[in-house]
Amino acid sequence: MKRMTKMLSIAATTVVLASSLAACSSNNNGGNNSASSNETAATTDNSATNNNAAATDTSATLPTLKRLDVFQGEDYATYPAGKLLEEKTGYKMTYDMLPQDNPTQKLNLLMASGEPYDIVTTYNDMAMYSDYAKKGALTDLTPLIDQFGPNIKSAISQQSRDALKVDGKLYGIPNIITYPVGFGILIRTDWLDKVGMKMPASTDEFQAVLQAFKDKNPGGHGSQDVPFTLKGDLPMIDDLVGAFGMPNPWNDVNGQLTPRLLDPSFPDYVKYVSGLYAGGLLDKGFVVNKDATAKEKFSSGKAGAIVVHWADIPGISDALTKAAPDAKFAFVPALKGPNGKSGFGANKGFDRLSFVPKSAKNPEDAIKWINASLEPTTFKELAIGVEGTHYTVDNGAYMPILPIFNDERNLANDYMVGTDEANYPQYWQARVHKDPVMFEAFDTLNNKTADADKILNQLSVAPYLEAYSKNNQKLETMSGDYTVKLIAGAEKLDGLGDFQKKFNAEGGEASIKEVNAWYASK
């Protein structure tokens, strides 16, 4: 109990710090992919193709740009995609990365301190982006794109640009999302074979499998093994929340979009997951697990299941193969809950957003750099390399040439600021096939999951909503911390009503009113 109290204290400290920062939050937006073998007019506009503002300058006169980007495991400056962009745009870049854990917390600190980044790229968080814009922290890109961004206008659809406008001004450039489902529960199928059980199809079967993992020690490490692990800031477990009718942060309850904390199914979900924790089926250390900690437990062969994104599979697979050469794994399909519900949260719209902070020293050059990176041939070479060297095309299907594709383009998406929306879905075929094991995982979640179990996050296609944008991060942090405490037994469900009142007073009620006024108008 003393250890658990210490762990919860650490988690609570994190929440307090996050809550003291600028109010930001999460939401997605935009359009999705539709494969076509033809490269379309958007990338053949000659005025856009040839108008590369940066190329008209010499590198000697161009400033070095400072960029903040998402976490990656290799040095941004020396990776081949970074070198390519320096060559093609003429600009040198310096890079900083957001951390793998709690990146929004770090971003808030950097934005509040006025760190002079010329370009900032984050995973899509529309509410956070809108809140930054409303607080005057971002540069209005509209006049800069009009003057220096013909390739940007050609690559980014008017629909996408309109979706990012706040009070009629454009403050960001989006990368489109090319798939609906990202996360699921990855399970050791060789452990299933060892305990004589099949892939679970319901929450009851999942619990029975975890119990068998605990009782029969298929990992062979005794008490060091854990049936199911996850990181501490992920109390809403993908797939399981869908089994309780809450696949998205806000779900339709009798025609009203309702946040999970106020969802009638929330207590049942908590009872189920806290039961896993109390029974030793969920990692007792999950409260303090970082992303890397949880992955290490699985990839070292000491965990039977974990929640991960399909794009994380290659690294996990490589490490697990070294630790347990006979290991096999697969994503658990959509589990049926006690009331027959199931599903994964599904997003449309944008994967990442990039913006130019007001504190940027070189906003014009930032737009020139983005424009140069979106020149059609440059963008294609960035995304998938050179035909015959990095990829092949057969009847319109792009396939990677391995291993050079992974050596030189595996992380290319981290360098994109905006995407060639007309053609990237075709290029992306090569990217998603870059690892057969990863493709199988992607295929399970996105192609083999029934459409009925891919449940759209309605707020991923919402316009700017002022109260929601202002309050959502604070409310998500409150709810997440509270849910962790409920699962670990430090809070009791008897107090849920009081916490819900606090949630509403802290902006929940205003957000619900605003969100549902928009939802009713759709």
pLDDT at residue 177 greater than cutoff 60: yes
Tell me which of 11-20, 65-74, 321-330 is least confident.
11-20
Q: What is the C-alpha to C-alpha distance for residues 294 and 282, in angstroms, rounded to an integer? A: 12
Residue 197 to residue 258: CA distance in whole angstroms: 37
**Nearest-CA neighbor of 188 among 169, 212, 172?**
212
Q: Give the Cβ contact number of residue 467 at 10 Å.
A: 16
Look at residue 299 and tell me whether its pLDDT is greater than 90.
yes
Look at residue 29 and tell me whether its pLDDT is greater than 60.
no
Count Cβ atoms within 10 A of the Cβ of residue 389 and give its class: 0-12 exposed, 13-18 middle, 19 or more buried.
exposed
- Give the domain 64-177+350-425 fold: D-Maltodextrin-Binding Protein; domain 2 (3.40.190)
Say which residue the tokens 């891919």 belong to.
454
Q: What is the mean pLDDT of residues 173-186?
A: 93
Q: Are the CB atoms for 130 and 167 separated by under 8 Å?
A: no
Model confidence pLDDT, tens digit, residues 237-273: 999 999 999 999 999 999 999 999 999 999 999 999 9
Is a pLDDT exceeding 60 seen at residue 233?
A: yes
Pull the structure tokens for residue 374.
């979106």
Tokens 């976490």 sit on residue: 71
The confidence score (pLDDT) of residue 227 equals 98
Could you report the per-residue pLDDT of 388-425, keeping only the tens digit for each? 999 999 988 899 999 999 999 999 999 999 999 999 98
Where does residue 55 rank: exposed (0-12), middle (13-18), buried (19+ CB within 10 A)? middle
Tokens, residue 493: 């469900």
d(CA 109, CA 40): 42
Residue 5 has pLDDT above 80, yes or no: no
- Residue 59 is predicted with a pLDDT of 57
Q: How confident is the model at residue 100 (pLDDT cuts 50, 70, 90)?
A: confident
For the ranges 23-27, 174-178, 194-198, 515-519, the lowest mean pLDDT is seen at: 23-27
pLDDT for the residue 117: 98
Residues 63 and 94 sit within 8 Å (Cβ to Cβ): no
What is the average pLDDT across 224-242? 95
Please state which of the ranges 1-10, 186-195, 438-447 shows the lowest mean pLDDT: 1-10
Q: Which CATH architecture has domain 183-346+455-520?
A: 3-Layer(aba) Sandwich (3.40)
Residue 12: pLDDT over 80: no
pLDDT at 1 over 90: no
Residue 58: per-residue pLDDT: 55
Report CA-CA distances (Å) from 171 to 87, 111, 202, 243. Answer: 27, 15, 44, 37
Helix (H) / strand (E) element for 518: namely helix 509-521
Q: What confidence category does residue 57 fall into, taking pLDDT thresholds of 50, 70 and 90?
A: low
Residues shown for the chain: 522
Q: What is the DSSP letter of 199?
A: P
3-state secondary structure of 357: strand
Residue 331 confidence (pLDDT) above 70: yes
Q: Enumerate the CATH 3.40.190.10 domain ranges in the chain, comma separated.
A: 64-177+350-425, 183-346+455-520
**Residue 387 reports pLDDT greater than 60:** yes
pLDDT-derived band at 76, boundaries 50, 70, 90: very high
Amino acid at 277: Y
Q: Are 458 and 426 in contact (CB under 8 A)?
A: no
Residue 347 — very low, low, confident or very high, per pLDDT cuts 50/70/90? confident
Residue 325 — pLDDT band, cuts 50, 70, 90? very high
Per DSSP, the residues of 81-130 read HHHHHHHHH---EEEEE--SSSHHHHHHHHHHHT---SEEEEE--HHHHH
Q: What is the model's pLDDT at position 60? A: 63
Express as a percent the part of the chain with pLDDT over 70.
89
Query: What is residue 396's predicted lDDT score, i.e. its pLDDT?
Result: 84
Mean pLDDT of all residues in 2-24 = 35
Separation of alpha carbons 485 and 280, rounded Å: 16
pTM (2 d.p.):
0.77
Helix axes 466-488, 126-134, angle to 10 degrees: 130
Which pLDDT band, with edges at 50, 70 and 90, does 31 fall under? Answer: very low
pLDDT tens by residue, 134-159: 999 999 999 999 999 999 999 999 98
| Helix (H), strand (E) at residue 379 | helix 376-384
Tokens representing 384 are: 């998938």
Q: How far apart are CA 197 and CA 191, in angstroms?
A: 9
